[in-house]
Amino acid sequence: MIINHVSVGTNDISAAIRFYDAVFATLGIQRSHVIDGVAASYGESFEFWVGSPCHDKPTSGNGSHFAFTAPTTQSVDEFYQVALKQGGRCGGKPGLRPQYGKSYYAAYIYDLDGNKIEAVSC
């Protein structure tokens, strides 16, 4: 594995933790670490971190896109619905994306800070 972890910034770590705890639960991903008031991580061997922006500069999303494996198409649907209920915005409704593969089923959301997150089941 060439990537150890990825990080996205947030302007409100408490809100981001609530958002990702709920959304990632739909994919079976648990929070693995928290630094009070600063950051939280999800996953084990590969970690996804959400934390306060560097140098105290506000974030509005950085144009990054992260895709997480979903165990089923139903979990992709649930990921999307929970994300919207938690304040996320639609980045692409759940559905087949045959341009990426015959059985590529995905949904895209923007988190509370504008980072684009995908759940995919192939």
> What is the model's pLDDT at position 54?
60
Does residue 32 surpass a pLDDT of 60? Answer: yes
DSSP 49: E
Nearest to 120 by CA among 97, 87, 91, 86: 97
Give the C-alpha separation, 122 to 7, whole Å. Answer: 25
Q: What is the mean pLDDT of residues 9-15?
A: 91
Residue, of 88 and 46, whose pLDDT is higher: 88
How far from 77 is each of 20, 57, 88, 105, 116, CA to CA, in Å?
A: 16, 34, 14, 10, 16
Q: What is the mean pLDDT of residues 26-32?
A: 96
Pick the CATH number of 5-53+61-121 from 3.40.109.10, 3.40.50.300, 3.30.465.10, 3.10.180.10: 3.10.180.10
Whole-prediction pTM value?
0.86
